[in-house]
Structure 1
Amino acid sequence: MSRSKNSLEIFGERIEAGTQKTFHIPIGQLYTQTNISIPVQVVNGKAPGPVLLICAAIHGDELNGVEVTRRVISAPWIKSLKGTLIAVPMVNVLGVIHRSRYLPDRRDLNRCFPGSEEGSLGGRIAHLFVQEILGKCQYAIDLHTGAIHRSNMPQIRVHLENTKAADMAHAFGLPLIIDAPIRDGSLRGAGDDLGIPIITYEAGEALRFDEPAIIAGVKGVRNVMTHLNMLPPRRNPKKETNNTFVAKSSAWVRAPADGLFRSHLKLGDRVVRGELLGIIDGPLGGSETPVKAPFGGIVIGATNLPLVNLGEALLHVGRFDDIEDVETVVDEFRQEVDMMPVELS
């Protein structure tokens, strides 16, 4: 679906075809009465086309998406844009300021949608975002990372029953897709209610810039924009296998003891049921507890903190039907990303 006109109205202002505009949405003040606003960049192409939202840092400590967004809006190929790109690099700007996943009142903004004009701080921000930004879009990509001290293998999370979102997920071009139900209060849920397909990109760790995750994110956003006919196909594109595998379920392997965890694996590795994943030991040694895989799959997330307590999440394992094929494609993907240039042209 394309816009019928070559201009778009947002925040009461009209952005004409072939122009771009920066907005700063006021959301309140600090205790010092310093005004706080959400930065927004709108790029309107010369030709009509879809309206796509890319947003990041709904969790304020998840920073890879901020850099993905910056690289996308500054890429030379954005000049060929058809339609409109709305880029919001820091949705939870208060969380970014405090280097925190949460809002100052400890609420998770991604559990506050669609929000309320008279609700909590999170509810008010969510309501404003839905009314002024999400509601103006036809598609959206939500950029995330793993939580603090945890890394995620680059992956797309999507509710595959939404066929348009599923098509976007496959177009993104990653080996791994997680069929993830929509959670109450999430941005994906708000989009689903409005008929706006949203996919979530997960990669890297909170409070870090992870270059392979950023590179894969920029490439994936560009792939989706090409899929939506917002960008022309690449000239002389590199031949790709385009193999994508869907995990119908996933689960965390949890610590069977307290101590220091020494992992034997890295993201993207294959595990077999009963395989030794690592050892938990004390600071002086001599009390080793093996951590074994309760099921087979691919490691899609992992803790980076060796200090663990009983029951703590250690390794996130996705279950796939074609496990050997997944292992091969994931290994090829890791090598490809490691060799990619920093800037994609």
Structure 2
Amino acid sequence: MADTFEYGGGRVPPGEVRHTRYAISETFLGDPIRVPVTVVNGERDGPSVFVSAAVHGDELNGVKVAHDVAARYDPSDLAGTLLVVHVVNPPGYLAQQRYLPIYDQDLNRSFPGNERSTPAQRIANELYTGLFSWCDYGVDLHTSTRGRTTMFHVRAQTEHDGAARLAEAFGANVVLAGIGEEDNSIRSSCTNRGTPTITVEMGEAHRFQRPHVERASAGIESVLTDLGMYDGERLSPTWRRVVNARTEKAWVRSDAGGLVDLHVERASVVEGGEAICTVHDHFGTEEHVVRAPFTGLVVGLLQNPVAQPGHPVCHLVSVDEETRAAIEAAS
């Protein structure tokens, strides 16, 4: 028989589903700011996993994944507990913007938080101590920021065995490894304190993209299956590239301002020296070609078609010939 699942101020007996709103702060009027939370506590004993979305308030793909995951699993199907935090950043979500409104603070650079510090630090502290720290594993859902798009991939501190296990079980083709150690994100703070957590990046802000939503939902099922919590499908991608984030990737940037004409697509492979985009001035008299510094896979790409010097236009990760052949065979 499973145990009662406990979190900050709440207890959910085995075999029950609990929908609640967990208070994390107050408005200027003194009214509570609450995050919507679903707890599915299985009928059988097992680990606990949190799924979180919208720590950046405009990243909506994860919100739909959380919605679908919370509705999908029944306590009779689970060995362990699934905790879904549907919207981590309600003020940003209500304003449909990335950061906490008014203060312009990045909540995902504020963990594990401080109960005596800034609004972002206090909210992060309440989320961490009241929700995330009660779980054994975590999956944090993101999209690219506005004006950019990213292919489906995972970020993880793979030197931690638990995080490496989650990253592999999730089944993404690309894993950016070894990033987030000191960035005060949900992922790094939880992983460094005993709750291995991965970040899932997918698509664009301000929209639901059904292929990404379905792929992330399948990845969560794969994780739950790998952990012995659910009898489902364990994903095995046809190719996989684990990238050392410090040495095997680059944001390729424009050296000029103007109108951007892209020559590559997201998830495509480009040759070293190949033109990624051309930046034109508004008179059509000057142009600047941005070229790939090495042969690589286009993980992220500019969507807003204007740039200024230093503007990132492409997120590129290196690939060897074997991986390149596998990518091209799968496409």
Q: Give the unaligned 5+ runs of structure 1.
A: 336-345
TM-score normalised to the size of structure 2?
A: 0.92
1:213-234 deviations in Å (ceiling 9; x for gaps):
1111111111111111111144
Closer, same or farther: CA 193–44 of 1 in aligned 2, 3 Å: same
User: What is the distance in 1 between the residues matched to 2:259 and 2:5?
Assistant: 55
Closer, same or farther: CA 31–331 of 1 in aligned 2, 3 Å: farther
User: What is the distance in 2 between the residues matched to 1:154 and 1:99?
Assistant: 22
8 A Cα contact 2:42 2:74, kept in partner:
no
Offset of 1:242 from its aligned partner? Answer: 4.4
- What is the DSSP-based 3-state SS (H/G/I as helix, E as strand, rest coil) of the residue aligned with 2:255? coil
- What is the DSSP-based 3-state SS (H/G/I as helix, E as strand, rest coil) of the residue aligned with 1:127? helix
User: What is the distance in 2 between the residues matched to 1:327 and 1:216?
Assistant: 23
Task: Verify: 1:84 aligned to 2:81, yes or no.
Answer: yes
Closer, same or farther: CA 122–145 of 1 in aligned 2, 3 Å: same
8 A Cα contact 2:43 2:75, kept in partner:
no
Task: Verify: 1:312 aligned to 2:311, yes or no.
Answer: yes
8 A Cα contact 1:297 1:318, kept in partner:
yes
Offset of 1:27 from its aligned partner? Answer: 2.8
Partner of 2:72: 75
8 A Cα contact 1:303 1:314, kept in partner:
yes
Alignment of 1:101-250 (within 5 A): 101-104=98-101, 105-181=103-179, 182-234=181-233, 241-248=237-244, 249-250=248-249
Offset of 1:270 from its aligned partner? Answer: 0.5
- What is the DSSP-based 3-state SS (H/G/I as helix, E as strand, rest coil) of the residue aligned with 1:96? helix
1:211-262 deviations in Å (ceiling 9; x for gaps):
221111111111111111111144xx8x955432111231111112111111
- What is the DSSP-based 3-state SS (H/G/I as helix, E as strand, rest coil) of the residue aligned with 2:33? strand
What code does the residue aligned with 2:287 have?
E
TM-score normalised to the size of structure 1?
A: 0.89
8 A Cα contact 2:51 2:83, kept in partner:
yes
Partner of 1:262: 261
Closer, same or farther: CA 154–78 of 1 in aligned 2, 3 Å: farther
Partner of 1:300: 299
Closer, same or farther: CA 174–241 of 1 in aligned 2, 3 Å: closer
Offset of 1:80 from its aligned partner? Answer: 1.1
User: What is the distance in 1 between the residues matched to 2:158 and 2:296?
Assistant: 20
User: What is the distance in 1 between the residues matched to 2:273 and 2:118?
Assistant: 47
Closer, same or farther: CA 173–326 of 1 in aligned 2, 3 Å: farther
